[in-house]
Chains A and B, each alone.
Chain A
């Protein structure tokens, strides 16, 4: 992992009082690739995510993102909202966090807040209705429309997000994150609660996002999704990395199997099965 690394996590440690949730974790995510972070429940995956996306300040360690133009940004030094605004890292949540009382279209418009704020001259120009803001808003609506079309929700654009089906809400949340035009998309268990058909549609969506040039980092329990789409997998247990490599490699790693067996038999069995 050299020049083509988008995210580089170096010796990340996160302590909550006496509890060490993440201990000396290092891994990297390649550009234009899908990297998965897996591990049993309570392994510290979501903590790593929260550190990367600025919801936690890590106790120690470096999280560095390298943009296409070679610009480096240390994420652990940025405040929460700047991570999305400046470092171009977007995220979704394990328990869906849409704006339920707003329409699907509005959700995607809120995601383009910063671009639209600039276009509206920080509200003052927008208030008097300058033409340049109108065109910017039209572009934003067009982008939202494209994404709604891509996730198959164009018909439900004017319906409240809270009224959508669970699987639709998941996809809408991903579309919303993509509307911030991120360089790195972090997904926290995007396939949780989806049926087989929905999760295969999700896999397709994620692959198409990757192919269009956005790197993806995901946490996932659904091994079929992880094994199918990941280019690289890092495995965590008890806050430390226990294995890393290509899906095939990780699947056959005895340490990984042991970790899953120790934590959750079913999931270990799922790994073994998908390995056959």
Chain B
């Protein structure tokens, strides 16, 4: 377009020349401004890094042999760090400009878009098939199956918390409390009363749901940050009670041995009535691990199925409406109290199931497994996945927990690499991996709604 008008101007060589020359000139200046902006930003970042690290890295102090303070300088290290920050800042900014803001509409050619849509639809069944095949392919690699169980446990926890945080918009920092309630319910019922796993599993869910309601009542009036703080405190209270109620929970010593799960009464042991002996195959400890893998996969899938169904029921729509606008909900005659409580209870119930599974898998539980860090990790999975998205949560759990294992090779830099990966992800996908929500009901076609429009909820 511009070229054509240029040639026209050249032919006529009259007044329009100035007009046609102006646009390229303008882009030139804007590009120059862009470069200046990037350099300015990089310089500021480098300056901040310099101030921050000048004492932390530039000067190293240590107590000498006679108790005096000795120090030496490491200015070359400091210079390297500052240079890295400077270069990194430029790269990040360039990438950001190339990628564009998250709300810019990128023109994608139609065939490519069709392919993308197809892959988008193909991902969930593909993931499920992969998950089903993991124990078959990696039968001899216990480490892989164990990691798989770990990932699936967090997928389930993430899906459970997703009901509370992603759908109902209630920021819950104490989710681990329900995990703990479920785990201790099973552990104590099994060790004290000899109940089997399959009886304890629903009980653990019910107990956790009751605790969810119990937590829900006092925090109904709280919103946003205040809700987060109270739920965080609730998580700590449960942990402290478990530590200090020694006569019941064994305190810091934990509970053990917790019975292993059975396949509907058939134990997975080397005994004569064990599964291997009954089937007439050779016993191997891997059988139990594989069984645990499929057990957690089934539990996670049940969680997913129930959540997807609930979303399409009036209660699920009310949760999402609550996240969008609580006042409007009340004006429409929705009982916000029971709606919030059911969200808490449903999320807690899934947490309780996961807890019971955790207890039977480990065979030993102690309060150490239920620290705030766990809550934070599950919340990170939900936020990273994209609030409310089931697929996003699964992908995020895979990335986070799988990432932990993958970065094991980096040894002491593991957390650093991991943290950086998180920061980068949040820069490019501030709304999480899956940044849109699918409508629960549609007339003609289900068009995904950008999360930019959806609200995060104030609790």
Asked whether A105 and B333 contact (CB < 8 A) given A97-B327, A113-B314, the answer is no
What is the CA–CA distance of A17 and B315 in the complex, to the nearest angstrom? 38
Taking CB atoms, residues of chain B closer than 8 Å to A100 are 324, 453-455
Q: Is B72 an interface residue (CB 8 A)?
A: no
In the assembled complex, A103 has its CB within 8 A of some CB on chain B:
yes
| A114→B334 contact, CB < 8 A | yes
A81 contacts B455, CB within 8 Å?
no
B447–A158 CB distance below 8 A: yes
Q: How far is the CB of B437 from chain A (nearest CB, A)?
A: 7
- Which single member of B318, B330, B332 contacts A176 (CB below 8 Å)? B332
Q: Which of B313, B329, B453 contacts A162 (CB 8 A)?
A: B453
Those of B414-459 within 8 Å (CB) of chain A: 437, 439-447, 449-451, 453-455
Q: Is the CB of A109 within 8 A of B313?
A: no
Q: Decide if A99 touches B314 in the complex (CB within 8 Å).
A: no
Q: How far, in angstroms, from A102 to B436 measured CA to CA in the complex?
A: 11
A135 interfacial contact with B, CB 8 Å? no
Q: Nearest Cβ in chain B — how far from A88, in angstroms? A: 9
Residues of B within 8 A of A105 (CB): 439, 441-443
Task: Check B149 for interface membership: any CB of A closer than 8 A.
Answer: no
> Which residue in A103, A154, A180 is a CB contact (below 8 Å) of B439?
A103
Determine whether A249 belongs to the interface, using a CB cutoff of 8 Å to chain B. Answer: no
B149 to chain A, nearest CB (A): 28
Q: Please name all residues of chain A whose beta carbon is closer than 8 Å to the beta carbon of B440 when the two chains form the complex.
A: 106, 109
- Residues 2-28 of A, flagged 1 when their CB comes within 8 A of B and 0 if not, give 000000000000000000000000000
Complex interface: chain B residues within 8 A of A54 (CB): 330
Q: Which residues of A contact B441 (CB under 8 A)?
A: 103, 105-106, 109, 137, 141
Asked whether A81 lies within 8 Å of B325 as measured between CB atoms, the reply is no
> Which residues of the other chain, B, contact A97 by a CB distance below 8 angstroms?
325, 327-328, 331
What is the size, in residues, of chain B's interface with A at 8 Å between Cβ atoms? 39
Chain A at the B interface: SS class: helix
Kindly state the interface size class of chain A when it binds its partner. Answer: 35 or more
Q: Is the CB of B318 within 8 A of A158?
A: no
Cross-chain contact A114 with B333 (CB below 8 angstroms): yes
Q: Say whether A85 contacts B455, CB under 8 Å.
A: no
Chain A's nearest CB lies how many Å from the CB of B234? 25
Q: Does B200 contact A (CB under 8 A)?
A: no
**Distance A97 CA – B328 CA, assembled complex (angstroms):** 6
In the assembled complex, which residues on chain B have CB atoms less than 8 Å from the CB atom of A98?
A: 325, 328
Nearest CB on B from A253, distance (A): 33
State whether the Cβ of A116 lies closer than 8 Å to any Cβ in chain B.
Answer: yes
Chain B residues lying within 8 Å of A154, measured Cβ to Cβ, are 443
Q: List 23 A-B contacts (CB under 8 A).
A: A81-B336, A91-B331, A93-B331, A99-B328, A100-B324, A100-B454, A101-B320, A103-B441, A109-B440, A110-B332, A112-B314, A113-B318, A113-B332, A113-B333, A120-B313, A123-B314, A137-B441, A141-B441, A159-B447, A160-B449, A160-B453, A162-B453, A177-B332
Other than the given A55-B327, A116-B313, A176-B332, 16 more pairs (CB < 8 A) read A53-B331, A101-B324, A101-B455, A102-B324, A103-B439, A103-B442, A109-B441, A110-B318, A111-B332, A114-B333, A116-B314, A158-B439, A158-B443, A158-B447, A160-B450, A180-B333
* 6 shortest interchain CB distances as A-B pairs: A101-B454, A84-B333, A85-B333, A99-B324, A116-B314, A162-B453
